[in-house]
Homo-oligomer: A and B are copies of this chain.
Amino acid sequence: MATKLDGEGRATALAALQDRGWTLVDGRDAITKRFVFNDFNAAFGWMTRAALVAEQMNHHPEWFNVYKTVEVTLATHDVGGLSDLDVKLAEKMDVLAG
C-alpha cells in the first residue's frame, strides 16, 4: 500500500530528492530526473536493473529513453500524487546509477 506524502515528512523527503537532482513536475504532483549515461548499453543496462526493482516493488516509473539519456517521472496513481513508494524507487534508481 502506498502512503501519500504530506506535511513535514513530505518536505523532508522532497528536500533530499531535490539535493540529488529530482525536481517537481509543473502542474502535477510528481517528480522527475534526467539520467545521462556513457552510451546506450549503460543507459539500458541501468533501466533493466531499475525495471527489476520496480517490478519487485510493484511500482513502475514513466520513463523516456533516447540513446544514453533516460528521463524518469515518478508518481503514484493510487494516491493521486507522490507517495512513499516514489521516494523509495527514486532512491533505488539513484543508487543503481552510482
Contact = CB atoms under 8 A, between A and B. Distances in A.
A60 B67 contact: yes
B62 A40 contact: no
A49 to B, nearest CB: 11
A65 B66 contact: no
B60 A63 contact: no
A45 to B, nearest CB: 9
Interface residues of A, number: 16
Interface string A35-78: 00000110010011001001100001111111100000000000
B60 A62 contact: no
Interface of A: 40-41, 44, 47-48, 51, 54-55, 60-67
